[in-house]
Amino acid sequence: MRWLPVLYVVALLLIEPLTPVDWPVSFALIALPLVAAFAHGLVVVAGTTVFAVLFEGVLAGTPCCAGRSVGYQWDRHYVAAYICTVLVGVLGTILAAHRTRRERTLADVRFVAEIAQRVLLRPVPHRIGNLLLESLYLSAAAEARIGGDLYEAVPTAYGVRLLIGDVRGKGLLAVETAAAMLGAFREAAHDEPDLPALADHVETSMDRRAAHLGGSELCERFVTAVFAEIPTDGQVVRVVNCGHPPPVLIRPDEVRELDRGRSGPPLNLGMLVEDPYQVDTYAFRPGDQLLLYTDGITETRDSTGSFYPLLQRLRSWGPLPPRELLEQLHDDLLAYSHNQLQDDTAALTACLMADEPAAQAPPAGENREPG
């Protein structure tokens, strides 16, 4: 874009001798200040205006231009061109100043959004004990890099506890709700002895926040979520699903959803049923990987309107380390949607590594320090 004014002038110079018309193509230099306003500031646009006026005079004196009109007609046309160029230059300068101010404002908004994302969705540790962890977040809006999707991983005395969630709605209210939920989870994860109690604790916090906000949509401010727990010794993974897409268990020979049909209601809707949250336990062996995700992934559409086939894609890729898995998922989602994501997406993956063998003591009499 910064070279566009230069390319524009070069194109005019190439076309000028070839135009069999009674007026020169150099009159098109009137638009040069507006072309410069696309990518440059007001100083450059003002300089481009002066250049356009002078260059029009130079072209007017060349044989290819001067021969096309003479006398009073020549003067009238070129005086009008000069005046129009100056007026367009003033307009281009104003537009350039406005565009520069808007770009600075947008840069400030993006900077604040990045800081908010670091605070709200801080990167999960890449390793906790014998678990490898990775996270992914994609915003559907380029200007707002955070939304209502959330994730977290917290090491506790009960094992590593994971959370993935999706707040209903968009905008600032969704971001505030996500922040409140993450704060409640980060505190309660260390205190509650089991996952249903943890879900109840977070549910209570969300109820209090919704009541504090008030309004007629109290029961509609809900969050779908999955709570997962991987004990320190591994072997199992415990899952409490609160109306969220089920996690996916990835093994070298198997890819399947962890869903026994006992999903509870979303958070802030627990008052609708009694004893809503049930825990399901699954085997989780070394080499297994757990993928938690939001519905922005499975609801991504291609040009024909077909939904993204997550399980099919995971099976076709085969076993991948956590980072490579999310990088592949990221690239595939953008390619599938032609860079037209319609919803925010988040994913969190945890892979159980094999226990590292302990160092063996050397046999007696070998590698011994002299006494």
For the chain, give every domain's residue range.
4-112, 123-352
Q: Count CA within 13 A, CB hemisphere, residue 249.
A: 21
Instruction: Tell me: pLDDT of 75 over 60.
Output: no
Tell me the two tokens of residue 118.
């670091």
Higher pLDDT, 363 or 244: 244
Question: DSSP for 83-98?
Answer: HHHHHHHHHHHHHHHH
Residue 240 DSSP SS3: strand
Residue-level pLDDT at 369: 39
Question: DSSP for 122-177?
Answer: PPPPSEETTEEEEEEEE-SSSS----SEEEEEEEETTEEEEEEEEESS-HHHHHHH
Residues in Cβ contact with 173 at an 8 Å cutoff, skipping those fewer than 6 apart: 221
Summarised one tens digit per residue, pLDDT across range 326-357 is 999 999 999 999 888 878 889 999 999 876 54
Average pLDDT of the chain is 79
Q: Hey, what amino acid is at 31?
A: A
Instruction: Tell me: pLDDT of 2 over 60.
Output: yes
Instruction: Tell me: pLDDT of 67 over 50.
Output: no
Instruction: Tell me: pLDDT of 257 over 90.
Output: yes
Residue 289: exposed, middle, or buried by beta-carbon count in 10 A (0-12, 13-18, 19+)? buried
Instruction: Tell me: pLDDT of 240 over 70.
Output: yes
Residue-level pLDDT at 313: 96
Structural contact between residues 26 and 12, judged by C-beta atoms closer than 8 angstroms: yes
Structural contact between residues 144 and 117, judged by C-beta atoms closer than 8 angstroms: no
Residues in Cβ contact with 44 at an 8 Å cutoff, skipping those fewer than 6 apart: 36, 96
Cα separation of 271 and 265, whole Å? Answer: 9
Looking at residue 359, the DSSP 8-state letter turns out to be: P
Residue-level pLDDT at 273: 60
Residue-level pLDDT at 361: 42
Residue-level pLDDT at 69: 44
Residue-level pLDDT at 109: 72
Question: DSSP for 224-293?
Answer: EEEEEEE-TT-EEEEEEEESSPPPEEEETTEEEE---S--BPPBT-GGGSSS---EEEEEE-TT-EEEEE
Range with lowest mean pLDDT among 13-22, 71-80, 162-171:
71-80
Residue-level pLDDT at 371: 35
Per-residue confidence at 148, pLDDT binned at 50, 70, 90? confident
Summarised one tens digit per residue, pLDDT across range 82-110 is 777 777 878 888 888 888 888 888 777 76
Instruction: Tell me: pLDDT of 33 over 90.
Output: no
Structural contact between residues 267 and 222, judged by C-beta atoms closer than 8 angstroms: yes
Q: Count CA within 13 A, CB hemisphere, residue 124.
A: 30
Under CATH, what is the fold of the domain 123-352? Phosphatase 2c; domain 1 (3.60.40)
Tell me the two tokens of residue 134.
């990775």
Classify the C-alpha dihedral 300-301-307-308 as positive or negative: negative
Q: Torsion over CA of 249, 291, 177 and 332, rounded to 10 degrees?
A: -130
Per-residue confidence at 209, pLDDT binned at 50, 70, 90? confident
Residue-level pLDDT at 68: 45
Instruction: Tell me: pLDDT of 322 over 60.
Output: yes
Of 109-113, 166-170, 281-285, the range with the highest mean pLDDT is 281-285
Instruction: Tell me: pLDDT of 319 over 90.
Output: no
